[in-house]
Structure 1
Amino acid sequence: MNYFKKILRFAKPYRKYAILNAISNVFYALFSTLSFVAFIPMLNVLFKQSGDIISIKPIYDSATGVSGYKEYLEQSLNFFLNQEIAKNGEIAALGYICGTMILLFFLKNIANYAALFFITFLRNGIIRDIRNALYNKLVTLPISYFTEKRKGDVIARMTSDVQEVEWSFLMVLELIIRDPLTIIFTLIAMISISAKLTLFIFIFLPLAGLIIGFIGKRLKADSDVAQKENGFFLSLIEETLTGLRVIKGFTAEKQFTGKFQNSTNKLFRTMNSLMNKKNLASPTSEFLGVSVIVIILWYGGKMVLIDETITGGAFIGFMALAYNILTPSKSISNAIYGIKKGDASAQRVLELLETENTISDKENAQTKTSFNSEIIFDNISFKYKDEYVLKDFSLTIPKGKTVALVGQSGSGKSTLANLITRFYDVNEGAIYIDGINIKDISKNSLRKMMGIVTQDSILFNDSVSNNIALGTEESSEEAIIEAAKIANAHEFIKDLPNQYEFNIGDSGNLLSGGQKQRLSIARAVLKNPPIMVLDEATSALDTESEQLVQLALEKMMQNRTSLVIAHRLSTIQKADTIVVLRKGKIIEQGKHDDLMQEQGDYFKLVSMQSL
């Protein structure tokens, strides 16, 4: 129930709908009870049991309290019916009662529709806000969170888990007032007819509760297993779609099919167990309810036929009221099962929502809009898990200069790009921009000062112009075209159908590798940042594409401060400083010609690539 309460905090903006729903449900419960109570006078007329004829209109005596009010209502109804029978006959009296019943059922259903109308805004509003909160959390969490989590599991939390919360938890909102109130009003009416008969219901209620509780104990555990397996199942689909070329190329279809079938078989067994326990809720509660009614029928029949302490009409009306308890009782029973089942999903949703963001802005973080002097990596150390990738690393990048990082894989080049953009935070030391620790600068303003071009061209299923204008506000068509020209992309865009409005497909798959990379560069150019971070931007390209992209990069880096991570050393010969890394430490540093003359590690790397 703690998870249920936490989910309900999303209901605060929709309080007015909750209040209107509650009012509608009060009327629903009241009219529902009265519609069954109205059976009693009709049955008394049919069975000619209207009671003693009362010729004087009764007067209510306030001193008699509640019991006197009940007697007053009975006598008033008796007076009206007898007067009507005497005046117009029994058929006319029956007509009044039938009309009253129709009116009560009509009002009951109007109240029911109103309750459902208002709860719709509440339910859908809560689900919308949960999904928005999850997505907001998703885009603000650090990159490190997603290196430890399966994508499919995250997707499962945002889709199937949220849906389970909607159906399992929020269905309770529909029942939380309506069904308990229906039971309470019905019980009041039943007690007023016969306290003895009503007592029999309470004898069996604890027993029913114990049985329902026993069945529901395993629901949360099974639900937790099912939702986790569902996340693994979605991860397999995502991995298969992403790596389909490799799976086919290595004829690994059978291996992946087996893994997928193992997951679906486990999900099949878990869901069978889960659904069988859930399906047991309704028949169990119905059987228990019918058992109670049969006992009431036996005991009440004895009161009518032998003791004559209750009329036949009142007894049948009592039985109708007792049956009226069955439906809401069954709904409450299903709701209890729903909470048990939805508990696991709510826990998984809240686990994501409540994940602490380890990379967040300080309370008084500065908003920096310009870059004036230099970037300093001051004695920084960083590790992803146990081993340090960078240890006591220091480097200064003056404004307007291009610094290239080279070295073997795992030497820490890409890590520096991740640290300067605060995708990760340093474990020791600090990074300064214009003498300000980047932890004291808001992430938003820090990243606005930087343009990032990575080895993998991350493009979206949208038009060329929207991909170039990503992250910029109200970019003009002229600015987008100018950025594309600087990136050497305008020529191939002109040849596309619809040109800049051409949809490039999922991940830009309708373009070549070189074309995708030039669009990524155009995006960085349009942003017009003072600092550029290029992470092996040409390593995945063929020679011709590399030359076009390299020209685009050189145009873009003019008058900008650039940190270039290079795999192909031919692309960084014009850099102001080349830094050679090995195991997170600088082993050489200088211009291309100077490093070649030293014939150290850089000379060996260039010689190997030339060969």
Structure 2
Amino acid sequence: MTNKKQDKILDFSLLTRLSFYVKPYKWVFIGVFLAVVLLAALSSAVPYLTQYVVDNNIAKQDAEGFLFFVVIMLGLLLAQTFFQLFFIYYAGWLGQNVVKDIRVKLFNHMLKFKMKYYDNSSVGVLITRAVTDMERIADIFGEGLFMIFRDVLTMIVVSGVMIFMNWKLSLIVFALLPLVLVATRIFQKYMKRAFEEVRTEISNLNSFVQERVTGMKILQLFTREDTEYKKFKTINNRHKKGWLKTVWYNSIFFPIAELSSSITIGLVVWYGGLNAVLDNTVSQGDLIAFIMFIPMLFRPLRQIADKFNTLQMGMVAANRVFKVLDTTSQITDTGTQEVSVFNGNIAFKKVHFSYVEDEEVLKGISFNVKAGETIAIVGATGAGKSTIINLLNRFYEINKGTITIDNIDIKQLTLGSLRAKIAVVLQDVFLFADTILNNITLNNPDITEAQVQQAAKDIGIHEFIMSLPEGYHYNVKERGAMLSSGQRQLISFLRAYVTNPSILVLDEATSSVDSYSEQLIQNATDKITKGRTSIVIAHRLATIKKADKIIVMDAGEIVEEGTHQELLKKQGGYYKNLYEVQFMQTAEV
């Protein structure tokens, strides 16, 4: 069934779906359609008039009539040029506007995907869908569908005029058409398969290059250049082979089409010439008109095959884009309650969660955080600490249990309302290729530069920012490459602070910073956590010691709870052992 579907010349269900995006531009569509009809009608006018002029004006030496028809043909050529210009421009205009609308819808759809979708998806493939595949969809209108319709209509009109003029010569022409039609059908079928392969290899190539460029530092640190070079050569070679298949099919088909056209012209000249000499049943005008008509009949047929390549590439791309659009991987935002501010009472009640089915990461954990309280969560890697933060923000849906804030189930809150009042500072800071100011405000018009500067002064990092070449307008480049890891962390901390969150989350926010930056963050932490509910996924000793409560996790379960001093008093306790092994070493340093 899959192969049959792939071998279809036209997927009408897909074209019907695309037509939905054409509706806002229906008058342009109608205009282009009418231009196609007029171009098809005008295409046969010049050869037909040529036949008339040769037989009735040139043969009879009628100079006045000859000049009259020359003027008419000139007018037809000018009209044909005008409608051709209109057709090409507005067909392309329509395609670009349709693609603009689909691309906006796709990006908006992708913005709402669950984190799990991105965990399992290649960034390079998604970029291909949003950029390269979109251009192929535009070609459906600009170079595919309308062009094919124009050529088919031209062939129908030309065939009708030929039969009207001389049915015997027409039979000679039509006798060779089945050969080209069969060749065209076979060509289209194999080209469709070839383009499926090409699109797959382009996605693989984009994904590979994007990941390697992003991770170039790791490749060079571990001297993996030669290995990655060989992998790239393999992927690039598969991409080349995919394209060479299309080149091979083209190199077979187009010479056959040209040869058929040349043979047909030769047969028409031979048969028509004999009849013109022997019994005068074919006129000189007929011969000249048919010599003009044959390329107009065979060339569109060849062009149709070529445009079908474009159309099929566009349809393959559209299928891939619509597959992403049809993906239902969004968090269900069915909440109806809007909350302007939280008091900050958080409760996890018997929460179970797994990233992979039947592999639980959290195994029925329960804990409470009182408003204004600072709690620290500690445990070995993989214990489930960061998962708690992800679930609090509803990046993932829990399997069982409930999570409440101020006694409201977070599923009853709108996602925007929930996330707007929770600020998270991650260990791995992501900065955009933009100014420091825009990375802090994320282009939120409600946050002014004056507010950002005041917030920076409050937490003691204003001087650091002003020491940069352009201060708050310094462009940090892609992923914040112009800043150190500690500086990036400070920017991330300020980004969270300016939103004035009800709940603050620090996910190992000081684990990769220098001692100076850590001191700045510790001072800022003391300021902004005061009177505000805070959850700290702990790494540094100072943060843990100041927490109102420490939750100790192991393998998805809470094994201990208490203050720093209370937990140290538990002989053989998990936290005491963790402290002695890890944190006391930090204290000694």
TM-score normalised by structure 1 residue count = 0.88
> What is the CA deviation profile of residues 131-189 of structure 1, one whole-angstrom value per residue up to 9, with x for unaligned ones?
22222222221111111122222222223333333346751133143222222222222
Q: 1:361 aligns with which of 323, 333, 357?
A: 333
Return the offset for 1:279: 4.5
Return closer, same or farther for 1:215/1:182 CA change in 2, 3 Å cut-off: closer
Which structure's CA Rg is the greater one?
1
Return closer, same or farther for 1:414/1:101 CA change in 2, 3 Å cut-off: same
Matched residue, 2:276: 304
Q: 2:95 aligns with which of 105, 109, 123?
A: 123
CA contact (8 A) 2:32 2:86 kept: yes
Matched residue, 2:408: 436
Return the offset for 1:369: 2.6
**Sequence identity percentage:** 32
Pairwise mapping of residues 59-74 of structure 1 onto structure 2 (< 5 A)? none
* CA distance in structure 2 between the aligned counterparts of 1:487 and 1:244, rounded to whole angstroms: 34
Return closer, same or farther for 1:198/1:436 CA change in 2, 3 Å cut-off: farther
Q: 2:51 aligns with which of 33, 40, 52?
A: 40
> What is the CA deviation profile of residues 258-294 of structure 1, one whole-angstrom value per residue up to 9, with x for unaligned ones?
1111111221222212222244443333333333333
Q: Quick check: 1:410 aligned with 2:382?
A: yes
Give 3-state SS (helix, strand or coil) of 2:424's partner: strand
Pairwise mapping of residues 564-583 of structure 1 onto structure 2 (< 5 A)? 564-583=536-555
Q: Quick check: 1:277 aligned with 2:229?
A: no
Give 3-state SS (helix, strand or coil) of 2:369's partner: strand
CA contact (8 A) 2:425 2:509 kept: yes
CA contact (8 A) 2:92 2:138 kept: no
* CA distance in structure 2 between the aligned counterparts of 1:537 and 1:166, rounded to whole angstroms: 45
Return closer, same or farther for 1:116/1:486 CA change in 2, 3 Å cut-off: same
Q: Unpaired segments of 5 or more residues in structure 2?
A: 1-9
> What is the CA deviation profile of residues 35-86 of structure 1, one whole-angstrom value per residue up to 9, with x for unaligned ones?
221101221145526xxxxxxxxxxxxxxxxxxxxxxxxxxxxxxxxxxxxx
Between stretches 452-461 and 274-283, larger displacement belongs to 274-283
Matched residue, 2:445: 473
Matched residue, 2:38: 27
Match for 1:225: what amino acid?
A: E
Match for 2:96: what amino acid?
A: N
Pairwise mapping of residues 375-394 of structure 1 onto structure 2 (< 5 A)? 375-386=346-357, 387-394=359-366
CA contact (8 A) 2:376 2:550 kept: yes
Give 3-state SS (helix, strand or coil) of 2:546's partner: coil
Give 3-state SS (helix, strand or coil) of 1:598's partner: coil
Return closer, same or farther for 1:147/1:380 CA change in 2, 3 Å cut-off: same
Q: Quick check: 1:210 aligned with 2:221?
A: no
Give 3-state SS (helix, strand or coil) of 1:461's partner: coil
Between stretches 559-568 and 154-163, larger displacement belongs to 154-163
CA contact (8 A) 2:343 2:502 kept: no
Give 3-state SS (helix, strand or coil) of 2:361's partner: strand
Pairwise mapping of residues 53-92 of structure 1 onto structure 2 (< 5 A)? 90-92=62-64
Return closer, same or farther for 1:366/1:283 CA change in 2, 3 Å cut-off: farther
Q: Unpaired segments of 5 or more residues in structure 1?
A: 50-88
CA contact (8 A) 1:487 1:518 kept: no
Q: 2:492 aligns with which of 516, 520, 529?
A: 520
* CA distance in structure 2 between the aligned counterparts of 1:204 and 1:434, rounded to whole angstroms: 81
* CA distance in structure 1 between the aligned counterparts of 2:336 and 2:262, rounded to whole angstroms: 66
* CA distance in structure 1 between the aligned counterparts of 2:24 and 2:143, rounded to whole angstroms: 18
* CA distance in structure 2 between the aligned counterparts of 1:390 and 1:210, rounded to whole angstroms: 62
Q: Quick check: 1:506 aligned with 2:506?
A: no
Return closer, same or farther for 1:247/1:90 CA change in 2, 3 Å cut-off: same
* CA distance in structure 1 between the aligned counterparts of 2:255 and 2:416, rounded to whole angstroms: 57
CA contact (8 A) 2:148 2:308 kept: no
Return closer, same or farther for 1:373/1:249 CA change in 2, 3 Å cut-off: closer
* CA distance in structure 2 between the aligned counterparts of 1:506 and 1:158, rounded to whole angstroms: 20
Matched residue, 1:85: none
Between stretches 173-182 and 574-583, larger displacement belongs to 173-182
Match for 1:610: what amino acid?
A: M
Match for 2:525: what amino acid?
A: L
Return the offset for 1:390: 0.4
Deviant stretches of 4+, over 4 Å: none
Matched residue, 2:510: 538
Give 3-state SS (helix, strand or coil) of 2:329's partner: coil
Q: 1:610 aligns with which of 581, 584, 587?
A: 584
Matched residue, 2:4: none
> What is the CA deviation profile of residues 392-442 of structure 1, one whole-angstrom value per residue up to 9, with x for unaligned ones?
111222222122111000000001111111111111222222333222322
Q: 1:237 aligns with which of 206, 209, 213?
A: 209
Return closer, same or farther for 1:557/1:201 CA change in 2, 3 Å cut-off: farther
Pairwise mapping of residues 341-356 of structure 1 onto structure 2 (< 5 A)? 341-356=313-328
CA contact (8 A) 2:139 2:311 kept: no
Matched residue, 1:446: 418
Q: May I ask how many residue pairs the two structures share in their alignment? A: 571
* CA distance in structure 2 between the aligned counterparts of 1:400 and 1:181, rounded to whole angstroms: 75
Give 3-state SS (helix, strand or coil) of 2:347's partner: strand
* CA distance in structure 2 between the aligned counterparts of 1:284 and 1:538, rounded to whole angstroms: 70
CA contact (8 A) 1:406 1:579 kept: yes
Q: 1:601 aligns with which of 558, 565, 574?
A: 574
> What is the CA deviation profile of residues 470-513 of structure 1, one whole-angstrom value per residue up to 9, with x for unaligned ones?
15323222101012223332111111112111111221111122
* CA distance in structure 2 between the aligned counterparts of 1:302 and 1:97, rounded to whole angstroms: 29
Q: 1:263 aligns with which of 232, 235, 239?
A: 235
Return closer, same or farther for 1:517/1:570 CA change in 2, 3 Å cut-off: same
* CA distance in structure 2 between the aligned counterparts of 1:353 and 1:487, rounded to whole angstroms: 43
Match for 1:580: what amino acid?
A: V
Return the offset for 1:302: 4.0
> What is the CA deviation profile of residues 341-376 of structure 1, one whole-angstrom value per residue up to 9, with x for unaligned ones?
4443332222222211241312x6333333236222
Between stretches 411-420 and 31-40, larger displacement belongs to 31-40
Return the offset for 1:4: 4.1
Between stretches 541-550 and 277-286, larger displacement belongs to 277-286
> What is the CA deviation profile of residues 316-338 of structure 1, one whole-angstrom value per residue up to 9, with x for unaligned ones?
22332233223322221212233
CA contact (8 A) 1:281 1:334 kept: no
CA contact (8 A) 2:344 2:533 kept: no
Between stretches 158-167 and 446-455, larger displacement belongs to 158-167
Q: Quick check: 1:159 aligned with 2:131?
A: yes
Pairwise mapping of residues 551-566 of structure 1 onto structure 2 (< 5 A)? 551-566=523-538
> What is the CA deviation profile of residues 534-553 of structure 1, one whole-angstrom value per residue up to 9, with x for unaligned ones?
21111111222212112112
Give 3-state SS (helix, strand or coil) of 2:363's partner: strand
Matched residue, 2:192: 220
